[in-house]
Amino acid sequence: MERSKQSSHYKDKAFKRSTWLLLFLICLLGVLVMVSLASGYMALTPTEIWLTVTGAGTASHELLLYQFRLPRIVLAVLVGTGMATAGAIFQGVTQNGLADPGIIGIHSGSGFFAVLYLYLLTLNQDQPPVWLNAGLPFAAFIGGISAAVLIYVLAWKEGVTPIRLILVGIGVNAGFSAALLLVQLRMSESDFNRALIWLSGSIWNASWAAVLRLLPWILIFIPLSLYKARVLSVMQLGEEMAVGLGTAIEKERIKLLTIGVALSAASVSAAGGIAFVGLIAPHLARRLVGGKFQRLIPVSAVTGAILIVLSDTLARTILAPSEIPVGLIVSVIGAPYFIYLLITIKD
């Protein structure tokens, strides 16, 4: 009796702590968004931003803020949230800390299908259909699912070991990248360049339309993954334990992977393949709140958003006026972290 009281007390404390942490992270994100709004090739002062927001600013400031910077930042937040959550789900399902959708080929599968879709629909047509852009996330989703199925089938040999899953994933990634290169070469020069920039992860041409395309996916699948977080936590206890606790493990695995693929594919269709977010954000979150997915998923979602907004701000300012695709900045930050994890991880 005494003990159960104590443990529930402890739970309350952990819950409280993670709630405060989440609030703090959201505040941090808010501050970063403000900084990001102000910085860029045309820097704005806080007063200028305030004046524009209250409707007393100049027309050019209004244009810059509402049509260029704000959609871009909102998109960065959504993409970061989606990719980080997808990463947390993948790590949970495969029980492998190094499973990042970008490294195991989900991103390049989505990218390949998206580019193929664009290529086939714009081929021999002066007027591409109106639903061209709206269909993009779906094409990416099909690509992501096929990559996931391919990895799972190829890694299957009387069961799937996490290590084989990752090795096969690296191979699938290389295969899709090569296939992608072949498709790209059949495109015209300008399309080729656009595809190249898009694929290395960028949100330069963000617009409210792009935000609206991505938003439903995030709004549907993030709550779903929060709802499924309990199952993920149970899975971490090991397969036998999870089955003993009444979890239909294969079924749940497939459901969770579908959610993860949907989130990462939709994000890829909006911003291209940004690797390492799905890896770093869940790891940082685990450091902060521990391995329980009910707490881990929201914290890693916010962390992911912070990461992308920060990288995007850097991408715009470091080498201004030339812009760097945000995916490259994330890689430069993420690869060393990945290597650090690789060194310290126990196998």
Partner 1 sequence: MEQIRKDQLTKKETQKRLMKRLSAPHPAALILISSIAALVLIMIVSISIGVSDIGWRDIIESFTAFDSSSTSHVIIRDLRIPRILAAALVGAFLAVSGVIMQALTLNPLASPSIMGVTSGSAFMIAVAFAFYPQSNYWQLILWSFAGAGLGTGMVFLVGSFSKRGLTPVKLALAGAAVSALLQSLSTIIAIHFNVARDISFWFAGGVAGVRMESVRVIGILAFAGLIAAFALSRSLTIMGLGEEMAKGLGIRIGWIKFVSVLVVLILTGAAVSIAGTVGFVGLVIPHVAKKVMGMNYRWVIPGSAVFGAGLLVLADIAARTINPPYETPVGALTGLIGVPFFLLLARKKGRG
In the list 33, 172, 235, 308, the residue contacting partner 1 (rule: CB under 8 A) is 172
189 binds partner 1 (CB under 8 A): no
b/e sequence 126-147, b meaning 16+ C-beta within 10 Å: eeeeeeeeebbbbbbbbbbbbb
Instruction: Please provide residue 17's backbone torsions phi and psi, each rounded to the nearest 5 degrees.
Output: -60, -45
Selected binder of partner 1 within 38, 49, 224, 328 (CB under 8 A): 328
Count of residues engaged in binding partner 1, rule: CB under 8 A: 46
The interface region with partner 1, picked from 2-10, 17-25, 52-60, 318-326 by CB under 8 A, is: 318-326
- Does position 164 interact with partner 1 (CB under 8 A)? The reply is yes
Name the residue type at position 330.
V
Nearer to partner 1, 132 or 167 (CB): 167
Binding status of residue 238 toward partner 1 by CB under 8 A:
no
Per the structure block, which two tokens stand in for 303? 């962390």
Residue whose entry in the numeric block shows the structure tokens 């703090």: 24
Does 331 bind partner 1 (CB under 8 A)? Our answer is: yes
For partner 1, which is the closer residue by CB, 121 or 328? 328
Q: How far is the CB of 323 from partner 1 (least distance, A)?
A: 8
Q: 226 or 333: whose CB is closer to partner 1?
A: 333
Stretch that binds partner 1, among 17-25, 109-117, 138-146, 153-161 (CB under 8 A): 153-161
Please give the Cα distance from 214 to 205 (Å, whole number): 14
Residue 246 phi/psi, 5° resolution?
Answer: 90, 30
Strand extents, DSSP E, the chain: none
Q: Count the Cβ atoms, other than its own, within 10 Å of residue 333.
A: 17
CA distances from 344 to 97, 222, 337, 338 (A): 11, 30, 11, 10
| Residue 204 CB partners (closer than 8 Å, separation 6+) | 72, 197, 323, 325
- The site for partner 1 (CB under 8 A) is made up of 98, 103, 154-155, 157, 161, 163-164, 166-168, 170-172, 174-175, 177-179, 181-182, 185-186, 200, 275-276, 319, 322-325, 327-329, 331-332, 334-336, 338-339, 342-344, 346-347
